[in-house]
A and B are shown apart, each in its own frame.
Chain A
């Protein structure tokens, strides 16, 4: 399975090697590529900075001040995660055609992705030991100086980790940027692939994109390594004394409210408006049902396959530590950084070349899902297996149970909840996956995402609305899981296609 996860990377690398440096340079060193590179990097850097600032400011306002209704605000601030970025893009652009280009893309993407910074920072703020801040106060530091010198440095891993995640999401983002007419590598690869089937140009661009992703992935892996040592000991039972806002209460309240209105209110309003306008003319129950059933069937198959594939990877990583098992586990994380567009492209080319029979089958699409979402299943199942330490197996053996009986009566009952949670996360991620589904879904199969896409990209906004609504509805359970900020899943919400 881990080998399968490396297929897309192997494809890109072998391709780049095969065409040789000269031709590659000709493909890459073109004004169009330079423009895409500039677009992609500018947008990524701007959005990472904006989400970082917004995420920390909101987290501090909700966790560390006497803002009224903090619990409610927390829920509302996480809720945008339930709106896929491409649905958000659709909501804005269908409301006002002016929202496009760099400004529009920047605003919509920032509003869609700031929770990826907000959530880990909130989790970190909750875990921080208030004794450290109290010590700083006792040493005569003011509140603002304590925040700068004590709190902020400890938030750094969560903040940087979240921002890197935003970067990875952004590099992979296709739907929203395409709707907002801001070309990046991902949208260009798709256009190239769709219009000309020009494999060479598309793959060369994919190579550059993969390189950008790997840079972010390496930064993230380094950070994860550091984080292990930086973790605060036992969960702090006490919470820090909240900062009194005083005269700042109204402005802070208004700012938090404005973010919620922009990130949640506008998409909701737009969706409802199109739903009303659209259903006045048509409401295709049969087509909606068909798309929903196809989506759920694909998601179910993908979830089962991905979770089953995660079990041996996790087993090796937890119970048989060694360089080989580490390499296997890490290699699944490489797939984590690969955008859906690259996985899709790689599987199209690889299947056509090696096993043409599987091209345009549901099986190939499920394989793409497994590659894309294996890391989510791995992290969740891993957390479960770590709850079942090897000493329990020893005890069970000493009580007369063999290997199979121990698996049945000890290990499986213990990891079953995490298997379920992992499968649920993958199921929900697949339901709203767009890019790989567009490229690989069998002819005649329509899913919620593909139907939404064909309607909205043809500017039939009313027809797209019911699909958008269903996409948001299936995203809600995953968002509720993620709202438990300390859940392992909070860190693994990764590259949507």
Chain B
């Protein structure tokens, strides 16, 4: 077990005018025993970053270190994947189809530890860790559900006690109900073994709910890495804001700690002056059904989800605003409501401004 440090890593595919810089000067530190998710849309370079760490690819520039040991870059000859002691959990698990669950889990153990009682004990221990019953040891991969396959794949990667575990969109092929329980089980298993883990995903809910740290990638660059609440509430720019959740972005004018916009006066999280772009989360927009306090608007559309509902309101000045409210009592289309902003609002320099 160790920390993971990536410094200025760059990887370009192709040459000449067709060259694409898949990973562009990425620097990231994952502390020992912590869980980081790399979040980005497909094609942002996050899987390439994972393959660079695993050793399947060699970076063009920059260095990768596990703890104090550099495995690539800095003039060090790249350590081949089989000597890096990384656990790798690819999409859909990729269990060895010709081996049963026990043989899959024991695959990476040295040959003397694979057979005999020691091997059996290790397999039982790992099955227990990923919360699968021990009689699963004799099953074939095709007899397991998608979620069970992912758990076995994690057990297989953890059995040789790797320095770092890398997970490549491990839950994307699971249906919604399995995704939550499998992800929670994976997180518990990683925490129980204090394993340093890096998970790549395009799903913001997954990225925010699992991790100690979220690293947002866009176009090969790392645009923000911070704890989940900070990424959500204080994203580094409006595009990140819109990627990690729904956001209302309104133009406004700031004076010190306050700003005025179509939704009235709001309190800023950081002081600013002059024209700004204000990022407001829909759940920060309070919809008042009873009192005529705040900015008046007409309900245009209601999407009811049960636990909550999203309400699109057109203000009297024509601005369209999304609000999220509890599903217990909600307005209908055409109702006149009043809106107020609660909590702190993050201000950005407006686009096109110097």
Q: Which residues of A are at the interface with B, using a C-beta cutoff of 8 A?
A: 387, 389, 391-392, 394-402, 409-410, 413-414
Contact = CB atoms under 8 A, between A and B. Distances in A.
Given A394-B88, A395-B88, A400 B82 contact: yes
Q: Ordered nearest first, which 3 A-B pairs have the shortest CB separation?
A: A399-B108, A398-B88, A397-B81
Nearest to B103: A409
12 contacts: A387-B97, A391-B90, A391-B94, A394-B54, A394-B90, A395-B88, A395-B90, A395-B156, A397-B81, A399-B87, A399-B108, A401-B108
Given A399-B160, A400-B160, A394 B96 contact: no
B296 interface: no
Q: How large is the interface on B (under 10, 10 to 19, 20 to 34, 35 or more residues)?
A: 20 to 34
Contacts of A387: 97
B157 A400 contact: no
B54 A398 contact: yes
A118 B218 CA distance: 54
Interface string B63-96: 0000000000000000011111111101000101
B97 A398 contact: no
Contacts of A395: 88, 90, 94, 96, 156
B135 interface: no
B56 interface: yes
Nearest to B107: A399
A410 B107 CA distance: 10
B157 A398 contact: yes
Nearest to A401: B82
Contacts of B94: 389, 391-392, 394-395
B170 to A, nearest CB: 12
* Main secondary structure on B side of the interface with A: loop
Contacts of A414: 96-98
Contacts of B156: 395, 399
Nearest to B156: A399
A400 B98 contact: no
B98 A398 contact: no
Contacts of A394: 54, 56, 81, 88, 90, 94
B96 A397 contact: no
A104 B341 CA distance: 92
Nearest to B99: A413
A395 B87 CA distance: 8
B98 A413 contact: yes
Given A398-B54, A398-B88, A401-B82, A410 B96 contact: yes
Contacts of A402: 80, 82
Interface string B272-289: 000000000000000000
A437 to B, nearest CB: 37
Contacts of B56: 394, 397
A391 to B, nearest CB: 5
B257 to A, nearest CB: 51
B82 A398 contact: yes
**Interface-centre pick from A395, A409, A413 (highest chain B CB count, 10 A):** A395
Contacts of B157: 398-399
Contacts of A391: 90, 94
Contacts of B85: 400
Interface string B95-117: 01110000000011000000000
Contacts of A389: 94
A401 B107 CA distance: 9
Contacts of A410: 96
A129 B62 CA distance: 52
A101 to B, nearest CB: 55
Nearest to B86: A398
**Interface-centre pick from A387, A395, A398 (highest chain B CB count, 10 A):** A398
A433 B43 CA distance: 53
Contacts of B86: 398
B98 A397 contact: no
A392 B89 CA distance: 10
Interface in B250-298: none
A138 B321 CA distance: 44
A345 B125 CA distance: 66
Contacts of B166: 398
Contact of A396 (B87, B107, B160): B107
Interface string B136-167: 00000000000000000000110010100010
A10 B122 CA distance: 60
Contacts of B55: 397-398
A401 to B, nearest CB: 6
Nearest to A387: B97
B111 to A, nearest CB: 10
A400 B98 CA distance: 19
Nearest to B165: A398
A387 B88 CA distance: 20
A339 B80 CA distance: 49
**Interface-centre pick from B81, B85, B108 (highest chain A CB count, 10 A):** B81
Given A398-B54, A398-B108, A399-B88, 4 more contacts: A391-B94, A395-B156, A399-B82, A400-B160
Contact of B82 (A397, A409, A413): A397
A394 B80 CA distance: 11
Contacts of B83: 400
B150 to A, nearest CB: 13
A398 B84 CA distance: 7
Interface in B16-59: 54-56
Nearest to A398: B88
B196 to A, nearest CB: 15
Contacts of B81: 394, 397-398
B94 to A, nearest CB: 5
Interface in B323-339: none
B54 to A, nearest CB: 6
Nearest to B162: A398
Contacts of B82: 397-402
A401 B156 CA distance: 14
Nearest to A417: B98
**Interface-centre pick from A387, A396, A397, A401 (highest chain B CB count, 10 A):** A397
**Interface-centre pick from A387, A400, A413 (highest chain B CB count, 10 A):** A400
A277 B82 CA distance: 69
B189 to A, nearest CB: 17
Contacts of B88: 394-395, 398-399
Contacts of B84: 398
B77 to A, nearest CB: 16
A391 B166 CA distance: 14
Contacts of A401: 82, 108
Nearest to A397: B81
B80 A397 contact: yes
Contacts of B97: 387, 414
